[in-house]
Amino acid sequence: MHKILWNKKSKPIFFRILVYGILFQIIFVLFVYKTEDQKEEPLFHEYDSTNNYMNICSLPVYDYWHPNIIGNIDNEDVDQKSIDNCLAKPFTELVNGTWRILEERRGLNCSARCLSTATWLPPGPVECEFVEAVCWEDSTEIYRFLHCQIIKPKIPPKFPENPPNVFVFLVDSLSTGAAKRSLPKTLPTLSSRLEAVEFPFVNKIGENSLANKMVLWFGVSVSPDVSIFEEFEDHGYMTLHVDDENLQKGFKAHHHLNLNNGFCPNQVENYFKTFLEAYNDSPKFAWLSLTKSDDSILKLIENNLETLQNSFFIFMGAQSTQGLNSDSEIGSVEANNPFLSISIPKKLRQKSQAVLEIMRQNSRKLQTHFDTRATILDILKYQPAAIFNNRTLLEISGERGHSYLRRQPSLPRTCGRLLIPLEYCICQVVKVTVVNENLRNRFGNLLVDHMNELLDRSNLTAICEKFELRKTLSLLHHGHINPSDTNHTYDLTILTDFAQFKTILTQNKNVDQILFGKILYGEAGDYSLSNNQTQCDDLLNEWDPEVPVLLIDLDFLENLKNEDCRWDETKRVKIGVHVKDKDRSIIDTTRFNVVLYNSPDGKDFLEFYEDGKRIIPKRFETRKIGNFEIPSNPQRFIEFYKRSKFVECLGLEMDRDTSEEAEQNGTTSANILARFRDELIDMGMYPYLNGGTLLGWYRECTVIPHTLDLDFSVFKENYNPEYAEKVLRKNESAFDMRRMLGKLEDSHEITVVSKEEGQPAIDLFVMYDYVEDGKVIYRYIPGLNNDGTKYRYTHLLLDPTCAAEMHGHLFWILCNPIEQLKHEYGPLWYRDHPTSYFAWNHSGKNIVVAGNFTEEEMEKYYLHF
């Protein structure tokens, strides 16, 4: 009875509960999880952090439809009307060597001529391949059309038995990504109907289309002596060349159509079809340059599908996509990554999958046009003898590439080994922003000097103004910076009065050599700082207060940094007013949120009386607009203010063992530590007191007198490895390097001493996150013993946005330092811990052993100076 009641009454209720529960979960996932901050995904699947140009290539695997691309595409799709802008119904025709007028009418007068001559001919036979027909009506030209035909040689060449046709269809500016986006009909046809293999990691070799075609036509020599067309003709092939390059010498194809004469896509298709029909019983090699139009390319392929099914068919780009912003990460790849797809004859595909498998293996490696050329030569000269079954490595004399139909050399295929110029290399390298202004300006001025020297060499100084550096816009180091490395590579972009210039700079520190790659240029206006800056200045002039004020509104400074001064008029702007000007009656408090501040004498910080008290370093410059003082470097001021909440030290009286010898003078040590802090700030780093130095400040407001060193830490994402390089250059820092341990990704710390005082030693640790299942569990700083043992000093996840005073100097700290001190030193943290009894690698309560470096690694990562 109970079971029956359950079935009849409870089932509908249970069903409704189940449905509502599922709906609730869906809503929860959509609206709760979606609101969590999402970490921005990297654009590429992987990056090389070592900049090992010779041995590592992180191939550019990315989303071809990434939003960063779509917004920057310029005319990637071709206007079909402009492609088909040819007469649908010509007045004349050329058939079987004879041209005629299709429609005679009163007043119509038509003539024709061979493009190679100037003689006008009446309707009748013509003995040339390209005939221009023109019609006039009452002395006005109303019609002009180019006809083409194939005229076979009188003595046909001999050819071997059943060699395969080879066809190359080339679209000039077509990157792999652009092909994926703009040829949605053509690419699936190649894949499904011809089983084509795509090679997504082809790297261009030259700057423009012609340079890359020359590699394909002539190989390493790039001199018009024997072209690929003559190679095929020597083996009995009939050749066709359709292109828009005005080069004739050295090509010597049997048939050549110059697209610059005004031929339309449908005429190219007809010419190709005529070529196929004329040499139906002969082996053929055809090279067709096509306009990027999905419909017209698809039509050409489908109309000749049977022929292409039984041929080697290469569909490719010569260079890459034009119109995509090459300053973006993806744009720089697509500017150097031409499309390539290859299909092989159907009988070879049916016979064995071995050749397709080796092609697919090679498609997952870095390739160049040299390899494409080697493949064409392999098809022509070497594979026929083995019935296209040879997969062994082939080194072709005088050629740089290796055939896709065979195993390629086992050495890593990298830009360094394939001799790909760095400015074209598509392998992805971690690029670290260099913030050292001295280095940025030095390299910027060196590039300007180099460009002026090029003008001198070219005898152009009389007609050209010399370049002067306005600003170094960007300096990016390839790979993480290791100061002990000899060679360094940078992307350098500068702005002059006339334009912006970009190049790759390589530095060899051993021989003090700096080399520049190809210099690219753009309009200076693209990087002008004036227009939006002027708008911001106008707005501040409009708001000009009655007394001098300091602009401290972080939102407004963020806008100012981005040169976007749109502002909600209902929102007050936060300003700092010096206490000597504290009469607020003359300040418009409906416009401004006033915070009083002071600049105490003998201290290196400003005090703001907000949220109790905030302090920031005085180490920032300002510019004036009326009564506004504006931080010249808004980002630095923003970083200062974010870390400004003031925390007091305790100032405990210590019961200390008098036998423990004092190593430190608190005031002197704080002065040295502040100088070190300033150098780190200038490198974009914001260090925190750490370990015993944090303990000494919080407990007794000074440095522990018997401690042997001072401790700073910097979060890994804020750490700038260029600082170590700066110290090692000797003349750029007030400090000398004593130790450099670990590597940036693991156990990194440096130890420096003041050149002036020689002591104490200051340790700078990199603070790492320990992550499990995508969640930060704790933070830690490293330790490294001389036997290779690695340690982690764990840190609680405390708010790191506070500031403290020690002997008149500002230092950044954790906002709740007592919690970390208990974690590190135990419940009796407030007692003195004599240094002589404190072992750095096991006395602390927060030490975890974390593996070890090998002997080989220690030679690299345990350095003393």
Q: How confident is the model at residue 167 (pLDDT cuts 50, 70, 90)?
A: very high
What are the φ/ψ torsions at residue 663 (nearest 5 degrees)? -105, -20
Residue 1: predicted pLDDT? 38
Residue 88: predicted pLDDT? 57
| pLDDT tens digits, one per residue of 307-336 | 999 999 999 988 765 543 455 778 888 889
Highest mean pLDDT among 20-29, 48-57, 516-525, 818-827: 818-827
Peptide bond between residue 760 and the one before it cis (omega within 30 degrees of 0): yes
- CA–CA separation, 561 and 529 (whole Å): 11
When mean pLDDT is compared across 204-213, 289-298, 383-392, 788-797, the lowest value belongs to 204-213
pLDDT of residue 540 exceeding 70, the answer is yes
DSSP string, 670-726: HHHHHHHHHHHHHTT---EE-HHHHHHHHHHSS--TT-SEEEEEEEGGG--THHHHH
pLDDT of residue 677 exceeding 50, the answer is yes
| pLDDT tens digits, one per residue of 232-280 | 998 999 999 998 776 554 467 889 888 877 677 778 888 999 999 999 9
pLDDT of residue 32 exceeding 80, the answer is no
The mean pLDDT value for 595-605 works out to 95
The SS3 call for residue 616 is strand
pLDDT of residue 581 exceeding 90, the answer is no
Strands 202-203, 592-598: parallel, antiparallel or unpaired by DSSP? unpaired
Q: At what angle do helices 634-642 and 554-561 cross, to 10 degrees?
A: 150
What are the φ/ψ torsions at residue 164 (nearest 5 degrees)? -80, 145
Tokens representing 445 are 């001025």
- CA–CA separation, 768 and 455 (whole Å): 49
When mean pLDDT is compared across 114-123, 349-358, 670-679, the lowest value belongs to 114-123
DSSP string, 255-303: EEEEGGG---HHHHHHHHHHHHHHTTTS-EEEEEEE---HHHHHHHHHH
The Cα-based distances of 728 to 231, 509, 553, 859, 864 in angstroms read 57, 11, 39, 18, 12
Contacts for 434 with CB less than 8 Å, ≥ 6 apart: 440, 475, 476, 477, 490, 722
| pLDDT tens digits, one per residue of 724-775 | 988 998 788 999 999 999 998 899 999 999 999 999 999 999 999 999 988 9
| Residue of 198 and 623 predicted with greater confidence | 198
Of 817, 864, 784, 776, the C-alpha closest to 691 is: 817
- The stretches of 154-208 forming alpha helices (DSSP H) are 176-182, 186-194
Residue 308: predicted pLDDT? 96
Q: Mean pLDDT in the chain? A: 85
- CA–CA separation, 177 and 173 (whole Å): 11
Residue 39: predicted pLDDT? 43
What is the signed CA dihedral for 246, 248, 251, 252, rounded to 10 degrees? Answer: 140
The mean pLDDT value for 388-403 works out to 93
Given phi > 0 = left and psi -120 to 50 = alpha, else beta, which region is 143?
Answer: beta
Contacts for 851 with CB less than 8 Å, ≥ 6 apart: 790
pLDDT of residue 2 exceeding 50, the answer is no
What are the φ/ψ torsions at residue 343 (nearest 5 degrees)? -120, 150
The mean pLDDT value for 479-494 works out to 86
| Cβ atoms within 10 Å, residue 481 | 18
pLDDT of residue 221 exceeding 60, the answer is no
- CA–CA separation, 140 and 143 (whole Å): 9
Highest mean pLDDT among 113-122, 465-474, 678-687: 678-687
- CA–CA separation, 721 and 706 (whole Å): 31
Q: How confident is the model at residue 553 (pLDDT cuts 50, 70, 90)?
A: very high
DSSP string, 32-55: TGGGSPPPPPPSSS--BSS--TTT
Q: How confident is the model at residue 158 (pLDDT cuts 50, 70, 90)?
A: low
Report the DSSP beta bridge partners of residue 718. Answer: none
- DSSP, res 860: H
| Cβ atoms within 10 Å, residue 64 | 16
Q: How far is CA 246 from the centre of its chain?
A: 35
Cα dihedral across residues 633, 638, 643, 645: positive or negative: positive
SS (H, E, C) 396-445: CCCCCCCCCCCCCCCCCCCCCCCCCCHHHCCCCECEEECCCHHHHHHHHH
Strands 735-743, 709-715: parallel, antiparallel or unpaired by DSSP? unpaired
Q: Tell me the residue length of the chain.
A: 865
Contacts for 145 with CB less than 8 Å, ≥ 6 apart: 87, 90, 91, 92, 132, 133
The mean pLDDT value for 586-596 works out to 87
Of 314, 336, 288, the C-alpha closest to 405 is: 314
Q: How confident is the model at residue 36 (pLDDT cuts 50, 70, 90)?
A: very low
Residue 197: predicted pLDDT? 96
The mean pLDDT value for 601-615 works out to 95
Residue 379: predicted pLDDT? 96
- DSSP, res 67: H
| pLDDT tens digits, one per residue of 433-456 | 888 888 999 999 999 999 999 888
The mean pLDDT value for 819-823 works out to 94
Unique residue bearing structure tokens 């828009």: 244
| pLDDT tens digits, one per residue of 701-732 | 999 999 989 999 999 989 998 899 889 987 88
- Domains of the chain and any CATH numbers: 86-148 (no CATH), 165-224+231-236+268-289+306-422 (no CATH), 431-527 (3.10.450), 543-642 (no CATH), 666-864 (3.30.460)
| Residue of 159 and 369 predicted with greater confidence | 369
pLDDT of residue 552 exceeding 80, the answer is yes
Residue pair 284/240 in contact (Cβ under 8 Å)? The answer is: yes
Q: How far apart are the first and last CA of the chain?
A: 90
Of 649, 656, 655, 685, the C-alpha closest to 670 is: 649
Residue 858: predicted pLDDT? 94
Report the DSSP beta bridge partners of residue 429. Answer: 48
The mean pLDDT value for 853-860 works out to 93
Q: How confident is the model at residue 140 (pLDDT cuts 50, 70, 90)?
A: confident
Question: Which secondary structure element, helix H or strand E, spans residue 478, and what is its range?
Answer: strand 469-478
Residue 124: predicted pLDDT? 92
Contacts for 163 with CB less than 8 Å, ≥ 6 apart: 235, 236, 237, 283, 384
| Residue of 810 and 103 predicted with greater confidence | 810
The mean pLDDT value for 558-568 works out to 75
The mean pLDDT value for 340-367 works out to 94
